[in-house]
Structures are given as structure tokens and as C-alpha cells.
């Protein structure tokens, strides 16, 4: 299927996500891509379960997903978008965080929800990309951030 500005892909299962990202359990925070519009945007999902290791300590009496991991999930969705849009699958290139701006946390993310990750390109260049991301639960904004990433070879 085609859309304005780019071709749409999706849904993509976790195997396709792992083909785009080097992350693996317990750091892989994208379970599925619902839609990816090349050169534009991605919508992905993270199933948040009580089995996540971080819930043991954050917090034992009121489990809440750490905000930094929500931003990491957004960044991983952006990584899939960048890899697919720039044709980097299988190249060994990595997408590294450079900056996080305007991160805001609006509602706690608790176990048992589907965290919807929406990320769009703000600026796209061959080696540096800027993104705007939003994480929602049942349509309610949980977190938002703008961030910059660079495309680079892995360390030697």
C-alpha cells in the first residue's frame, strides 16, 4: 500500500523489529510495528507486563515503567523508522542517541497495558536525524520527547 510521501509497511512482527535493531531482551522495548511510512513516521507497540525486570524495584508497591525506558522505547521505534527509511537493514549500522529535548511525562505507565509509540521524522539526513515522539496508553498521553540520533558504524 502506498501513502503520501512514502510507502507504508506493517504490521511488522518482532522478528522484523529485531532485524532492524541490535537490541535484545531485556532491552528490546518494541514488540510490534503497526505501521511504518518510509521517510515519515512509525507507530509501534510495547506490551508492558508485570514480568519486566524493572518492576521489581520501580516500585515494589506501585509498579510504574521508568520514564527513561519509555523514552528508550520511543528511540527504538525511531531506530526502526531510520533503518527502514535509509535502507540500512543488514548494514551493521547503529542508531545512537545524541540528544533528548523537551521530555515530559504526563501519566504513569503500569503493567498490563499496551504502550503505543508514535514517532515522526522532524529532520532526516544521511548521518543525523531528528524525531518527535509520543507514547500513549488507551489514547491518553503518557510521555513525549524530541530527540536526535546519529547513524554510525558500531565500535571496533
Whole-prediction pTM: 0.94
42 class by beta-carbon count within 10 Å (0-12 exposed, 13-18 middle, 19+ buried): buried
Q: How many domains does the chain have?
A: 1
The span from the CA of 80 to the CA of 11, in Å, is 13
CATH number reported for the structural domain that contains residue 85 in this entry: 3.10.129.10
Residues in the chain with pLDDT < 50?
1-4
Per-residue model confidence (pLDDT) at position 2: 37
Catalytic residue set: 58
Per-residue model confidence (pLDDT) at position 6: 75
Q: What's the domain range around 20?
A: 2-152
Amino acid at each position: 500500500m502506498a501513502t503520501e510521501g512514502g510507502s507504508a509497511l506493517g504490521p511488522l512482527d518482532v522478528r522484523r523489529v529485531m532485524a532492524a535493531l541490535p537490541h535484545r531482551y531485556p532491552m528490546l522495548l518494541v514488540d510490534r510495528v503497526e505501521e511504518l511510512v518510509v521517510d515519515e513516521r512509525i507507530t509501534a507497540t510495547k506490551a508492558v507486563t508485570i514480568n519486566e525486570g524493572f518492576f521489581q524495584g520501580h516500585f515494589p508497591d506501585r509498579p510504574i515503567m521508568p520514564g527513561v525506558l519509555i523514552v528508550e522505547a520511543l528511540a527504538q521505534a525511531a531506530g526502526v523508522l531510520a533503518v527502514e527509511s535509509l535502507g540500512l537493514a543488514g548494514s551493521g549500522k547503529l542508531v545512537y542517541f545524541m540528544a533528548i529535548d523537551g521530555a515530559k511525562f504526563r501519566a504513569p505507565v503500569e503493567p498490563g497495558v499496551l504502550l503505543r509509540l508514535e514517532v515522526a521524522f522532524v529532520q532526516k539526513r544521511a548521518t543525523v536525524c531528528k524525531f518527535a515522539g509520543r507514547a500513549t496508553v488507551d489514547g491518553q498521553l503518557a510521555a513525549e520527547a524530541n530527540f536526535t540520533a546519529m547513524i554510525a558504524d558500531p565500535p571496533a
